[in-house]
Structure 1
Amino acid sequence: MVAAVRTVLGDIPADELGVCDAHDHLFLRTPVLPGQELDDPVVAAERLRAFGGFGGRSVVQWTPYGMGRRADVLAELSRSTGTHVVAATGLHQAAHYPPALLDRIRDGLASMFVAELTVGIGSTQVRAGLIKVAGAFHTVDAHARLTMTAAAEAHHRTGAPIAVHLELGTAAQDVLDLLCGTLGVPPHRVILGHLGRSPDGAAQREAARAGAFLAFDGPSRAHHATDWRLPEELAALAGAGFGGQLLLGGDTTVPETPGMPHLLHRLRPRLAEVLGEEAVEEMLIANSARAFAFETPAPSS
């Protein structure tokens, strides 16, 4: 059976994704970033066309439930710009939601994730193609344990990949201990985001040895190690044999983020100079195709 990626226009063969921004946001709304919402479909279309102008073919939006992901316009954006778009279900950290909302949905998270993966998001027929959850700073707190447990159940029922926001790049091993150790999710079905925000080579290698995909996603909003150490971090991981587990993304979270076009126009040539064009192409194309493909879940016993 051909591996498939679930886009907002339906399932496609994974090898049709092409050059992929493995972690970004077309739309995002949160009380944590007041006044900095991404909510304009016209602007989103402009960003997708700019990304396409540099050879971009696919974008994976990690915006989960309750954060303004705009499932109502994603399909038309995909059609009008000729870009494959993958949407997310899942739940971010508790700080992004009103407590009353979390109280209302907490007991039905797994079923909600499954419904959004298999039926549609809200009243739309747009199905999610991944499950987004989040750790806490250097730990897996009670909220993260709740959401990751639901994500694991949804994965086992659907075969969907799980993408994890690591807070400032920390707690990767704690996340893997829970998802892969306790909850039985295969490591290659987990995508760890933001590892570059904590430029700890030992922690990065440990996560890679576990078998997870590692997403290096988004330029920093300050001038620190996230940016200037990225080429050497990727070179070290590729040199250690983990090149097939590396992903690249723009992670546009506020309007001034350079995001998608920056990923290909500025970052790609810089990485190619250090790693070689073939290695960077593997990260943008082949690795993304494997990371975001659905796998047939095991039959129930």
Structure 2
Amino acid sequence: MRTVEGDLPGAELGVCDAHDHLFLRSPRLPGEELSDADAAEQQLRAYAEHGGRGLVQWTPYGLGRRSGALVELARRTGVRLVAATGLHQAQHYAEEPPSDPAELFVQELTVGMRGGVCGESPRAGLIKVAGDFHGLGPYARRSMAAAAEAHHATGAPIAVHLELGTAATDVLAFLCDQREVPPSSVLLGHLGRCPDVRMQREAARSGAWLVFDGPSRTHHATDCRLFDSLADLVQQGHGNQVLLGGDTVTATARAETGVPYVTRVLRPRVARELGEQVARQFFVGNPARAFTVQWKS
């Protein structure tokens, strides 16, 4: 597991929020920036008070991820933080994408992320890319091709934003069938935003990680159907592929739910509804396996 403080055994993650954001900035979200380090620290401390030990930030290159601040936050709070390289959808950038994204991803995974301050330039621990609504356009394919190239060079897992939970089969066909990325290295984000249980079962049969990360999105079909999906996947024998997170992407979401919701509300409810053993699997065992990598460089 590659954290902002260095490589550690996967067991060091403990109870883990597998998809969230402490820092994020996008021209698509004016006035909703997450940029305050003190506020991020308060979020992490409240998260830790309810048992949180690890958090994976999916904010990719160019969206204000504040890699140097992540190092200081990890040191001050004791929460293990994993950071991302990668590219989101083109609409989230005001400037042109890097000319060679694969080279950028590899550099940030093996040498250090761009944008560190005060000499802090930690390495990323995963690659984040994004699909489109019910398909993959040219930009998405270019980003995913670069992610696959970087995965083969480093071993890093690839986390994928599924637009409104769609196009999981397209993503798997492109990354796994065409680009030969093992499904066990692919994390399908936002799977719960399209509450189609049959689609979720099909994605599960691929062997990919199934990421349910909706508490901050009250206008999506997330919490209201989350436990139906989770119970079904456990019943179908796919509980060992499920990851849970908060995906707090805006200041509004931070005020309404925030990172602490994952340990304060979500984990206890999983334990009540599905049992403590399943809760431990979702929040401890599965993240330890998903983010443990045999790094090639």
TM normalised by structure 1 equals 0.94
Separation in 2, partners of 1:47, 1:19: 15
Shift of 1:220: 4.7
1:115 matched residue in structure 2: 107
1:253-273 per-residue CA deviation (whole Å, 9 max, x = no partner) reads: 011321321111112222222
List gaps (5 residues or longer) in structure 2. Answer: none
Partner secondary structure for residue 238 of structure 1: helix
The count of residues paired between Structure 1 and Structure 2 equals 290
Partner secondary structure for residue 187 of structure 2: strand
Is the 1:220–1:227 Cα contact (8 Å) retained in structure 2? Answer: no
Partner secondary structure for residue 31 of structure 1: coil
Is the 2:10–2:288 Cα contact (8 Å) retained in structure 1? Answer: yes
Select which of 156, 159, 163 maps to 1:167: 163
Select which of 32, 37, 42 maps to 2:38: 42
Select which of 23, 26, 30 maps to 2:26: 30
Is the 2:60–2:86 Cα contact (8 Å) retained in structure 1? Answer: yes
Separation in 1, partners of 2:218, 2:76: 34
- Give the residue type in structure 1 aligned to 2:148: A
2:238 matched residue in structure 1: 242
1:232 matched residue in structure 2: 228
The yes-or-no answer on 1:52 pairing with 2:48 is yes
1:63 matched residue in structure 2: 59
The yes-or-no answer on 1:260 pairing with 2:259 is yes
The yes-or-no answer on 1:214 pairing with 2:210 is yes
1:293 matched residue in structure 2: 292
Separation in 1, partners of 2:67, 2:261: 25
Quickly say closer, same or farther: Cα 1:202–1:121, change in 2 above 3 A.
same
Separation in 2, partners of 1:109, 1:41: 28
| Equivalence map 1:124-143=2 (5 Å) | 124-143=120-139
1:136-193 per-residue CA deviation (whole Å, 9 max, x = no partner) reads: 0000111110000000000000000000000000000000000000000000000000
Shift of 1:113: 0.2
Separation in 1, partners of 2:277, 2:264: 16
1:25-78 per-residue CA deviation (whole Å, 9 max, x = no partner) reads: 000000010000000000000000000000000000000000000012111110
Shift of 1:296: 4.2
Shift of 1:125: 2.5
Select which of 175, 194, 198 maps to 1:198: 194
User: After TM superposition, what 4+ stretches of structure 1 lie above 6 angstroms from structure 2?
Assistant: none
- Give the residue type in structure 2 aligned to 1:130: L
1:10 matched residue in structure 2: 6
- Give the residue type in structure 2 aligned to 1:118: T
1:72-123 per-residue CA deviation (whole Å, 9 max, x = no partner) reads: 211111000011000000000000112x422xx1x31101000000000125
Is the 1:51–1:260 Cα contact (8 Å) retained in structure 2? Answer: yes
Partner secondary structure for residue 256 of structure 1: helix
Shift of 1:223: 5.0
Separation in 2, partners of 1:229, 1:241: 19
Relative to structure 2, which stretch is displaced further, 156-165 or 251-260?
A: 251-260
Partner secondary structure for residue 29 of structure 2: coil
Q: CA RMSD in A?
A: 1.3
Separation in 2, partners of 1:40, 1:218: 23
The yes-or-no answer on 1:101 pairing with 2:93 is no
Partner secondary structure for residue 62 of structure 2: coil
Separation in 2, partners of 1:108, 1:68: 20
1:253-296 per-residue CA deviation (whole Å, 9 max, x = no partner) reads: 01132132111111222222221111011010010011111124
Separation in 2, partners of 1:208, 1:221: 23
Is the 2:216–2:246 Cα contact (8 Å) retained in structure 1? Answer: no
Separation in 2, partners of 1:159, 1:81: 28
2:75 matched residue in structure 1: 79
Shift of 1:224: 5.0
Sequence identity percentage: 59
